[in-house]
Structure 1
Amino acid sequence: MKRAGVTLVELLVALGVLGILLVAAGRYFASSTDLSFAARARAEVLSELQTAQAIIAARARQAAFVYPEFAELTLSNSGYTTRNPLTDGYVWKISDGLMLAMILPPENRAQPCGGGNTSGCFMFYAYYPVKRSALMKAAPLLRPVDDPLNQGSWVLMEYRAAYDSPPGYERGAPLPPVPTGQQGRMLAEYLSPVGAPGYPRLFLTEGEHRPDDEGNPALQPDGNPNTWVFRVHSWLSGERSLGAQTARVPRQGALEQDIFVRNTLLR
Structure 2
Amino acid sequence: MDYADIKKLYDGLRVSDVRDGMDWIGLFSKGSVHRDIRPLFDGARLAGPALTVRLAASHIQAPPVTPDEYTDWARNHWYKEKHIEPYVSEIQQGDVVVIEAPDLGVGQLGSFNTLNFYVHGAQGVVSSGGVRDTDECRLQQVPIFTRFISQSMTQGRIEYVEHNTPITVGGVRVNPRDLVVGDGDGVLVVPEEHIEEVAKYARQEADNDKRGRRRMYEQLGWAPDETVQVDEPVAAQS
TM class by shorter chain equals under 0.3
Structure with the largest fraction of helix: 2
Larger radius of gyration: 1
